[in-house]
Structure 1
Amino acid sequence: MNITQEKIDDLNAVVKIKISPEDYTEKVDKTIKEQAKKSNLPGFRKGMVPPAHIKKMYGKSILIETINGLLSENLNKYLTDNKVEVLGQPLPVMDDTKDFKWDGTDEFEFDYELGLAPEVKFEISAKDKFTQYIVKADEETLASRIKNIRRSYGKMTNPEVSAGDDVLYAELAQLNADGSVFEEGVKHTGSIRLDSVKDKAILKSLTGVKKDDVLTIDIQKAFGSDAAVIAKLLGIEEEQATALTGKFQVTVKNVNRLEEADLNQEFFDKIFGEGVVTDEAGFTAKITEEIESMFKQDADRKLQNDMYTQLTEKVTMDLPDTFLRKWLKATNEKLSDAELEEGYADFAKNLKWTLIENKIIKDNSIEIKYEDVFKTAKQRLEAQFRMYSPAPMPEDQLAQYTTTFLQEKDNGNRIFEEVKALKVFDYIQSVATLKPEEIAYTKFAEMN
């Protein structure tokens, strides 16, 4: 077998692979004999099928499979042994002039296009400057979080008259233009959350109502044409909800109110464990710490995005764009030309960042260990669980969840890539200049 590379330019090359009968004959014959021993064909005892018969029936397909295996194995080995850094995957060059007989005597030659990775040159130093935001909990955000937690541990009551964030359990019926009930229209009994009503006038009409009250609302106006909310309320598909017009009759069947839990020792112990918090000030401090910890994750993402943007703009490199466009089309059959052009700039930018990441990791001998992946996955899962309850999950149970989570290949790969990115960002932070700046969450949110 003979493999050669012809460089077209610094970013493109063609690999030529020549395969002669001595490269494949022995493998083909071995496969034929093995298949003969396993075959169970009419007219022959099992395992006694003559190899010649197998060759006559399946020889061509066995040969094709053998050649494909040799191509894949030896092309990858050649690229690895010769340290050829490619982008995407090698693409076979179609040549209609070649007409192989596939009879075991062919001298094969196959060509593959390569997109070569460019040489990446850059240096990160203290001259690279970034703002490191320290996000603080403002009164509005803190009050909202405390309210949600107290309601999560509160109790349901049924006041006579609706107010605030109550939920109306009601019958809803679509109306005709004249205000009568549309008998063939949408009818459903559901829960109207007052805090989901967008129109102020409609919200006012739903406030102060009691059981058995009947009123009329414009369903699209009430919920800001949010198809998902309307579909859930009426028990219909989102597509139908989007097209729905007209008004609905609302017959109140009940008023539900979730009362906030009292700020007492029983409540504190239930959330944080016995004796950890003993008064309202300690409770507020704990919640502040919790939400500012979540804000830190948002601030870290902002810093990382700023690093990504600044460095991809700073580092100049050319890519084999023509090859990459061809490769994307070849590996995504449903990708239209319009979709390719629309998304190529983002694809190229992300690829550029990957090359920057790889250089930082290589130049600084950065290692990614399993314990790093496990720790990160565990932190992500713990953060998800805390969204539903501030009470910490037992350590052994969280560890078991993490192990199960990482056994899913996609989860493991995703967390590995996340850890890789985090280690690169950590390195950048250790070298660049970071300027700390405190900012209220409401102001920070406006920046994103």
Structure 2
Amino acid sequence: MATVTRENIGLLNDKITVKVAKDDYLPSFEKALKQYSKTANIPGFRKGMVPTGMIKKMHGQSVFTDEVLRTVEKELTDYMTKENLEIFAQPLPMSENDARQINMNEPAEYAFAFEIGLKPDFKVADLGKEKMTRYKVNVTEEMINEEEDRLRMRHGKMTEPESVTGDDNVLNVSFVETDANGNEVEGGVKKDNSLLVKYFNASFRPGLNGKKKDDSVVLQISAAFDEKEREWILGDLGFDKHDAEAANKFFKMMITKVGLVEKAELNEEFFNAAFPGKEIKDEAGFRNAVKEEIQSYWDKQASNHLQHEVYHVLLDHTKIEFPETFLKRWIQQGGEQPKTAEQAEQEFPTFANQLKWTVIIDKIVREHGVEVKPEDIQNFAKQQLFGYMGMNMGDPEQPWITDYVNRMMQDRKFVEDAYHRVQTEKVFGWAETQVNATDKPVSVDEFTKELEKHQHHHH
């Protein structure tokens, strides 16, 4: 009769020893041999007619070892199920185990020991006790005007005037790296781009007025653009956006096309193109829709910011003890490639942090009934698709969208990833209801500064 004993060997770290007697594994060994003789293909014998004795001689020891180990594994699993043990990863066989002791010709009692890491019992940090702020960005008339302008440009009609007349002209240009006199640098950077005149800084713009297709100017990036646009242009040219030396390089910029977008008129046709399905009739309704969209964008940013805070409170203020010795051994042995004790030591802090977050999420999911349903994953697939295609969730459902979603639901990796992301989102949704956050109205600038302060708190 098999026996299983358990002893504590460290913090949340137990040793389980499984002893199996002859009676536990011999019947299954005999059965396995018979099964083997039925299926074995051995020259000179008809299939299924190979004598068991011969099979035993040829393959007996490996079948015997397999059966003993399978019996041990079954006893271990049954014991852990019966005892309701919550463990990390898998039990690790201990170094004292030696499969070489298993001898078919002398069946005996065999003992195998395993080390397990037990999951800790802990309390999730009380989110209600923490001081947090829920920012509310004020949407100004100026922001609405800017967005209205952008939408009218986006839905406008492109024309090709002869020359540059003002800030709203679109220039297709070709940058070629030169010296200060406009002579091309050998092996220098060349790049085509498309820019609005208003992207250049105020002192540079007047020099572009009246320029036509095939005209060119020699410029220094640092002198032609203000900081935001300069960083964007440098990045596009393949430089580091903070590289001051690159910003002082000279380029010959040749205009390959002058364009001008005639802004869309403020009429129903435009309102419906900008906000399909909203049936906007007049300018007031349109501006209202613009305001709602801007507000919704900043509310989402504010919610993300609050979630960052929640994440850090949960991680920093939830006290959890881990079976470190076990986990370090598991890092060494549990992966595809074995690792050294030094590597395990080095990886442990990051590993423990991720593990801590996982067990916190698991506990919240269990205790607060956070559930991810198939339709949540379908919606996630749809949102992703609409994001890629630049479509609105309100657009009418097309058969190809349903086909796409059904196809994604067959993709195991996608479903697992989506499940994990939807679950995390729902956990944060629950967490936000537990927070006593103070509402604070702010301007975009104030909120952006606040975000920059927290930039190093990524998760």
Distance 1:196 1:20 in 2: 86
In structure 1, the residue matched to 2:286 is 283
- CA deviations over 1:111-140 (Å, ceiling 9, x no partner): 322222222135737544432333343456
In structure 2, the residue matched to 1:158 is 160
Give secondary structure in 2 for the equivalent of 1:416: helix
- For the pair 1:17 / 2:18, whether they are aligned, the reply is yes
Q: Contact (CA 8 Å) 1:377, 1:402: kept in 2 or not?
A: no
- CA deviations over 1:252-295 (Å, ceiling 9, x no partner): 33234555433222111223347711222211211221232233
- For the pair 1:443 / 2:446, whether they are aligned, the reply is yes
- CA deviations over 1:33-87 (Å, ceiling 9, x no partner): 5555555565555565555665555555555655665555554443332122222
In structure 1, the residue matched to 2:121 is 119
- Compute the displacement of 1:11 (Å): 1.6
Whichever residue aligns with residue 8 of structure 2, its letter is K
- For the pair 1:297 / 2:300, whether they are aligned, the reply is yes
Query: For 1:121-270, what aligned pairs fall within 5 Å after superposition?
Result: 121=123, 124=126, 126-139=128-141, 141-161=143-163, 164=167, 168-170=171-173, 181=184, 185=187, 190-193=192-195, 209-216=211-218, 224=231, 229-230=236-237, 249-270=252-273
- Relative to the length of structure 2, the TM-score reads 0.73
Structure 1 residues 112 and 208: CA distance shift in structure 2, 3 A: farther
Structure 1 residues 97 and 158: CA distance shift in structure 2, 3 A: same
In structure 2, the residue matched to 1:353 is 357
Give secondary structure in 2 for the equivalent of 1:447: helix
Distance 1:436 1:382 in 2: 34
Give secondary structure in 1 for the equivalent of 2:274: helix
In structure 2, the residue matched to 1:239 is none
Structure 1 residues 283 and 14: CA distance shift in structure 2, 3 A: same
Whichever residue aligns with residue 293 of structure 1, its letter is S
Gaps of 5+ in 2: 240-245, 452-459
Whichever residue aligns with residue 330 of structure 1, its letter is Q
Q: How many residues align?
A: 436
In structure 1, the residue matched to 2:321 is 318
Give secondary structure in 1 for the equivalent of 2:112: strand
Query: For 1:280-429, what aligned pairs fall within 5 Å after superposition?
Result: 280-332=283-335, 333=337, 344-364=348-368, 366-370=369-373, 373-374=376-377, 377=380, 380-381=383-384, 384=387, 388-390=390-392, 392-395=394-397, 401-429=404-432
Q: Contact (CA 8 Å) 1:116, 1:320: kept in 2 or not?
A: yes
Larger radius of gyration: 2
Distance 1:46 1:195 in 2: 84
Distance 1:413 1:310 in 2: 27
Structure 1 residues 84 and 198: CA distance shift in structure 2, 3 A: farther
Structure 1 residues 384 and 3: CA distance shift in structure 2, 3 A: farther
Structure 1 residues 98 and 147: CA distance shift in structure 2, 3 A: same
- For the pair 1:8 / 2:9, whether they are aligned, the reply is yes
Q: Contact (CA 8 Å) 1:382, 1:393: kept in 2 or not?
A: no
Structure 1 residues 403 and 46: CA distance shift in structure 2, 3 A: same
Distance 1:49 1:177 in 2: 91
Q: Tell me whether 135-144 or 171-180 shows the greater mean CA deviation.
A: 171-180
Q: Tell me whether 285-294 or 268-277 shows the greater mean CA deviation.
A: 268-277
Q: Contact (CA 8 Å) 2:177, 2:252: kept in 1 or not?
A: yes
Distance 2:194 2:156 in 1: 20
Gaps of 5+ in 1: 234-242
Give secondary structure in 1 for the equivalent of 2:192: strand
Give secondary structure in 2 for the equivalent of 1:99: helix
Distance 1:30 1:227 in 2: 74
Q: What is the root-mean-square deviation of aligned Cα atoms in Å? A: 4.6
Distance 1:212 1:399 in 2: 49
Q: Tell me whether 339-348 or 88-97 shows the greater mean CA deviation.
A: 339-348
- For the pair 1:80 / 2:98, whether they are aligned, the reply is no
Structure 1 residues 57 and 273: CA distance shift in structure 2, 3 A: same
Q: Percent identity?
A: 28
Distance 2:276 2:312 in 1: 43
- Compute the displacement of 1:191 (Å): 3.0
Distance 2:383 2:159 in 1: 35
Distance 1:430 1:260 in 2: 44
Give secondary structure in 1 for the equivalent of 2:100: coil
